[in-house]
Structure 1
Amino acid sequence: MSCREQGRRGAGAVVTGRIPRAGDAAPSRLYAHGVLALLVLAYAFNILDRTMIAIVGQAIKIDMKLSDAELGLLGGFAFAVLYSVLGLPVARLAERWHRVSIISIAMIVWSGFTAACGVAGNYAQLLLARIGVGVGEAGLSPPAFSLIADYYPPNRRASAIGIYMLGGAIGTMIGAALGGWVAKHFGWRIAFIAVGIPGVVVALLIRAVIREPVRGALDADNVPVAAPGPIDWGEEFAELAAVTRSLLGQSDVRNMIFGLTLASVATYGMLQFSPAYFIRAFDLDLATVGVIFGVTSGASAAAGVVIGGFLTDWLGRRNAAWRGLVPAIGLAIAAPLYYFAYTEPDWRIASAILLFPGLFQYLAHGPTFGAVQNAFPAHRRATASALMLLFLTLIAAGGGPPLIGWIIDRLAAAKFALLPVATQSFATLCPAGKAAAGASAELVAACHDVLAQATREGLLVATAFLLWGGVHYALAALALRRKRAA
């Protein structure tokens, strides 16, 4: 049997190469829930290590005298460039090799590079360490989504994936609160080390506890897939092209991917610069800002991903169009809530408002990833997930923070140029957004106020991407309705 013929049955699941049989015992529900809990923990560390740069970003900006565009590169493109590129080969490896081992190795790599961020001596070294974090984190979600699909049946996958993505909210909460506190009392370098080392322990626990499941045994046809033959690179590229055509050729799936990607441009941009905004506009310390964003971002995201998964599974049984409508409505509500939060002059009220938009914004995650898993057979799910993450990472995670940082830099420069104290450019008189020691009181105030105003307006620009993403989810709902009718 050729590799391609085997691929039509599905890529293999077991390192030993044993062909899974339909009579193999299915995992118990309790064990499946335990596996999901460990994957949630892994994703929590994934997001925790990824977003630490946002929590301590203002301290790094001042310490290394960075612009917001440079800060945005650390939070965006530096992480995303290899994360997105390596996601595809990792996914192809996950279609034929031990997915649990891939996840464990990846965790060790990204945790080590997170700790290395704390010992970076300059901007270039920090940039390289962030690239290393992206290299490691590329190995989690594609195999994790594939594992979840083999532990949960199709009608429970959106909710299971919603629970998995709850790890992102947990990681955000822990990273914001712990990272902010450690950075305030011990410095931003120690904060990176403190969150990087425990990830290695979790990686070893996952490798010891999770069993590799039979692929495809819980699908509708209940036909487990066979072990793959030797790698044929021509067939690998052909398979990748076929999955890409299928992913972009389905109007409902394509629009859901576009919708989540556009909304995530806003998500990543706001995650990077919202903490900095509260420091710049309200003169809060790192620990206070960490608590604010640990509670507001983490709690609302947690509620959103879980509710979104369960709600769309429930409504989708009655009308498939709800799988697009729920995210579309959520994004339409989230955008104005963010506007009210960023234009509120009292930081306490602004913080309270921020408890709510994330709930509506994150309704989209479970339905979108669940739709991709359900649209592909078992031997293509990891690859399809990696292609989706390629869009999300390159465009949203890679482009969102630098774009919003660049907008803030441009707005600050334009606003500053209109002031009487602007004898030179904003970048010259206000390096890293602060006037040099010994500057006049007028210049100190001008640098502070201009940067705060520009940051607020940059965040408001980001909210427009939420509405744009909502339009694509509405188009996905129409496509789902047409598909159901056909």
Structure 2
Amino acid sequence: MAHHISDDGIDTSLGIPRTYAWIVFALTFGLLISDYMSRQVLNAVFPLLKAEWALSDSQLGLLSGIVALMVGLLTFPLSLMADRFGRIKSLTIMAVLWSLATLGCAVAETYEQMFVARFLVGVGEAAYGSVGIAVVVSVFPREMRATLSGAFISGGMFGSVLGMAAGGVLAQHFGWRWAFAGMAIFGLVLALLYPLIVKTSRIAPQAAASAARKAADKVSRPLRTLYSSRSVISAYVGSGLQLFVGGTVIVWMPSYLNRFYGMTTDKAGAVAAIIVLCSGAGMILCGMLSDRMCRNRPDRKFMLSIAYCLGSCLLLSLAFALPFGMPQLVMIGLGMLIAAGTSGPAGAMVANLTHYSVHGTAFATLTLANNLLGLATGPLLTGKLSDLIGLDNAFQLVPLVSIAAAAVFFYGKRHYLKDMARLKGNGGEDKALDAALEVQS
């Protein structure tokens, strides 16, 4: 018999109409789309910039890399500031900054000016993902956290595809400057609408604010919840290791298709985009499944994460062992459908195991782990491995990292319920958690 268990001591959605919550999600998600469109539009105009300014590939790579560098360096401190000084105000400032910086890219006359503009794009975008997801999970019931986390994070993939596609169309018909300008205008419109519709007084009504104050009295040092439990550290590390696999396949897939399928650059990009969309759709679907199956047993989030890791390992290992052809591409798509499925459950775990007042910083920590362990490390190590044994052979080894991710999630599962009970410090909820521990054993 399963007992109902509250995933978190605070239901911050109390008093927030569901229609308004979805409006908040739509606007926050729209700005995330704008974030990645502004970031990735550069890739669509690489050939035009190279020809007009006689740039080297290293210079082009630096224009792209400076954004990722700023995001990596500033995510944590800027998220901490947003938690302290107001998330809505901070999100608005971020969106205005990256949109104006993208407009600066459109009017840049030299490489140096473009570099400064891209630097500012990175500063503006650094903490948006972590603070934005903190706002999203705060306006919905806690049993929807995995769904909302997966759906929100998937916006990065959809935005990347849209940015490159829309940027390519605008550049083709109106020139590369209008590709940047189009992204900037879209972002500025949303940035101006955002604070007019999303207001702190409406997303933090009195009932939830009162609950937060009571919880804060029990947790004397909320910032310590970022790292004080073994299960939350497992969520960070497991998520990062699993994104090593998904991030690597996404980055190197166009090259794989070009080298082993003989596809031209545009066709390889189109097929790779479909695979990226499979991954984004999988984030949403796997998050929904997690919320549905874990409503009364929050520890099942870890079990589902383990299943996603091992399932993607099996499918992708089989895919890269198959001969080149359509069956292989279909199997890669299926593997990528669940490869990033841990994003939703991991986001929910982090929200459940950290204090509401530092959720922005908590998601920044998750983002940092995802980048350091997965999205940055995976493509780099795979590239080095490819130089030694070839990209096809390197791809056969990449899915094995999912086994390590599954092991980390398994370790976290053993401590999850006890860590939640310790965070809450609530007698009634502790009894429910004890009951769940009995069911689990």
| TM-score band w.r.t. shorter chain | 0.7 to 0.9
Rg (Cα) greater in structure? 1
C-alpha displacement of 1:291: 2.7
The equivalences for 1:157-306 within 5 A come to 157-179=145-167, 191-212=179-200, 213-215=202-204, 223-225=211-213, 243=223, 245-298=224-277, 300-306=278-284
Could you list the runs of 5+ residues in structure 1 that have no partner in the other structure? 1-9, 11-21, 229-237, 416-453
C-alpha displacement of 1:31: 0.8
The match for 1:474 is 410
Of 328, 331, 341, which residue of structure 1 is paired with 2:306? 328
CA distance in structure 1 between the partners assigned to 2:95 and 2:383 by the alignment: 29
Superposed CA offset, 1:38-97 (max 9, x none): 112122222334445666779989974437xx8877656x33332233223322322233
TM-score (norm 1): 0.70
1:362 aligns with 2:340: yes
C-alpha displacement of 1:149: 3.3
TM-score (norm 2): 0.76
**Residue 175 to residue 280, structure 1, CA distance change in 2 (3 Å):** farther
SS at match of 1:27: coil
Question: AA paired with 1:477?
Answer: K
- Greater helix share, structure number: 2
The match for 1:135 is 123
- The root-mean-square deviation of aligned C-alpha atoms, in Å, is 3.8
CA distance in structure 1 between the partners assigned to 2:276 and 2:305 by the alignment: 18
Question: AA paired with 1:472?
Answer: V
Question: AA paired with 1:105?
Answer: I
CA distance in structure 1 between the partners assigned to 2:205 and 2:234 by the alignment: 26
Could you list the runs of 5+ residues in structure 2 that have no partner in the other structure? 1-9, 420-432
Superposed CA offset, 1:424-467 (max 9, x none): xxxxxxxxxxxxxxxxxxxxxxxxxxxxxx34444444433333
CA distance in structure 1 between the partners assigned to 2:255 and 2:44 by the alignment: 8
**Residue 331 to residue 216, structure 1, CA distance change in 2 (3 Å):** farther
2:242–2:340 CA contact under 8 A, matched in 1:
no
Figure out how many residues of one structure are paired with residues of the other and give that number. 404
Question: AA paired with 1:396?
Answer: G
Task: Name whichever of 332-341 and 370-379 sits farther off.
Answer: 332-341
SS at match of 2:133: helix
Task: Name whichever of 249-258 and 268-277 sits farther off.
Answer: 268-277
Question: AA paired with 2:406?
Answer: G
CA distance in structure 2 between the partners assigned to 1:198 and 1:136 by the alignment: 15
Percent identity among equivalent residues? 23
1:113–1:130 CA contact under 8 A, matched in 2:
yes
1:279–1:285 CA contact under 8 A, matched in 2:
yes
CA distance in structure 2 between the partners assigned to 1:222 and 1:144 by the alignment: 22
The match for 1:148 is 136
1:36–1:148 CA contact under 8 A, matched in 2:
yes
Question: AA paired with 1:143?
Answer: V
Superposed CA offset, 1:201-231 (max 9, x none): 2222222221224548676x961449x9xxx
The match for 2:377 is 399
Question: AA paired with 1:330?
Answer: Y
CA distance in structure 2 between the partners assigned to 1:75 and 1:467 by the alignment: 31
1:96 aligns with 2:84: yes
1:44 aligns with 2:33: yes
CA distance in structure 2 between the partners assigned to 1:322 and 1:25 by the alignment: 25
Of 311, 318, 329, which residue of structure 1 is paired with 2:289? 311
Of 26, 32, 39, which residue of structure 1 is paired with 2:15? 26
Question: AA paired with 1:468?
Answer: A
Superposed CA offset, 1:323-347 (max 9, x none): 0121221122223433455566646
The match for 2:422 is none
2:260–2:324 CA contact under 8 A, matched in 1:
no
